Amino acid sequence: MAKLTVDQLELSGRRVFLRVDFNVPIHGGRVTDDTRITAALPTVQHCLKAGASLVVASHLGRPKGKPDRTYSLEPVAERLGQILGQPVPLAPDCVGPEVQQQVTALQPGQILMLENLRFHAEEEANDDGFGQELASLANVYVNDAFAAAHRAHASIEAITRHLRPAAAGLLMARELTALERILGDPERPVWAILGGAKVSDKLALVENLLGRVDGLLIGGGMAFTFLASLGHGIGRSLVETDRIDMARAVLDRARSRGIPARLPVDVVVATSVDDQSGLRTVAVREIPADRMGLDIGPATVAQFRAALSGAKTVVWNGPMGVFEKEPFAAGTLGVAKAVGECPGFSVVGGGDTIAAIHQAGVTSQIGYISTAGGAFLEFLEGRELPGVTALNDA
């Protein structure tokens, strides 16, 4: 997995094509959360200080393969310029004679942002010709968009057939190092915490982790399919009936390998997410037929905390309940604090999970917070990521 990184390159006088993930929320023509922009800053600043000129490329939203002003990167270029304290002009497109002219005019230390890559259907089609056009804009390729590394798109995969060297940016390198620390030779014991709504989204992940972890904690909506597989009545809780046999097989496999797979022992129930009448905490054996489980209870949080207290490595993806609703947030926040208190190295990924870490005030206590969602999960599933495979080995 050791890949060539941008800090190993001689960049003075070179023109760098930097693929970033600046797919950020925009409202009223302004960036409302610049986390992904600031995450890529170390790579941007490294290239500029090393004397390179920089061509920055990203996608934004889903414009369906044609220009749409709603998805213009103009607010992003403006925000990046504010942070850097230097102009970041936006090209009118990402390919074509006018863009080529702007790129050729760049001086060392200058930066140009290309317009949304997804204004061309060829980007998501991983079109080789489009990749070659993008490659013609620079003589070095750097990918700092780990969050998009699971997608075989032209600016991620096809471009590298025509532009070498292809190196990892500093953010990409940090992501790979942190995740390798879990999957490579982790310090043991290793515990994984999995939540979220659906078992089907996580089955491949559970399968891969069973051969790598020493313990598994399962919460969120997905826990009810596992509980149903053990014969528990789960009331009106979320369940994937077509996955019950698979869930039971996973638990059997964990048991045969001597891996503890902990499920909730109590849950917070209510009539529905929006109708909180009858809100209370019950043991999993006592879920009323007319109620649904919407969070793990305090006894479960205590058991999960006890399990994590001796962990040397922890990976967490997915909330423990309907975290965005305050009455059902305590379980996720409790687990966030337990992960923060854990003395071992922790890696956290996924939007809701990261939000919980911030809300619980334990951000500084987490070993690594991944910027990626889908790529984070696919890497942990053991799948090959096109955006990583395409890079030069170190």
What is the tens place of the pLDDT at every residue in 173-191? 999 988 888 888 889 999 9
Across the chain, what does the average pLDDT equal? 94
- Rounded to an integer, the average pLDDT of 31-59 is 96
Q: What is the pLDDT of residue 211?
A: 85
Q: What is the DSSP string of 295-317?
A: EE-HHHHHHHHHHHTT-SEEEEE
Has residue 359 got a pLDDT over 90? Answer: yes
185-225: pLDDT as tens digits: 889 999 999 999 888 888 888 888 888 899 999 999 999 99
222-265: pLDDT as tens digits: 999 999 999 999 999 999 999 999 999 999 999 999 999 999 99
Least reliable range by pLDDT among 15-29, 171-185, 322-336: 171-185
Has residue 331 got a pLDDT over 90? Answer: yes
- Rounded to an integer, the average pLDDT of 358-377 is 88
Q: What is the pLDDT of residue 207?
A: 84
Has residue 69 got a pLDDT over 80? Answer: yes
- Rounded to an integer, the average pLDDT of 110-132 is 98
Reported confidence tier of residue 1, pLDDT bands at 50, 70, 90: low
- Known catalytic residues are 36, 198, 351, 374
Has residue 340 got a pLDDT over 90? Answer: yes
Percent of the chain with pLDDT over 70: 100
- The amino acid that residue 146 corresponds to is F
CB 80 within 8 A of CB 48: no
The whole-angstrom separation of Cα 6 and Cα 173 is: 9
Has residue 308 got a pLDDT over 80? Answer: yes
Q: Give the single-character DSSP code of 3.
A: B
Q: What is the DSSP string of 66-109?
A: S--GGG-SHHHHHHHHHHHTS---B-SSSSSHHHHHHHHTPPTT
CB 120 within 8 A of CB 63: no
Phi, psi of 143, rounded to the nearest 5 degrees: -110, 115
Q: Which among 46, 45, 22 has a CA at the least distance from the CA of 94?
A: 22
Domains of the chain: 6-174 (3.40.50.1260), 186-380 (3.40.50.1260)
Phi-psi region of 126 (alpha: psi -120 to 50; beta: other; left: phi over 0): left
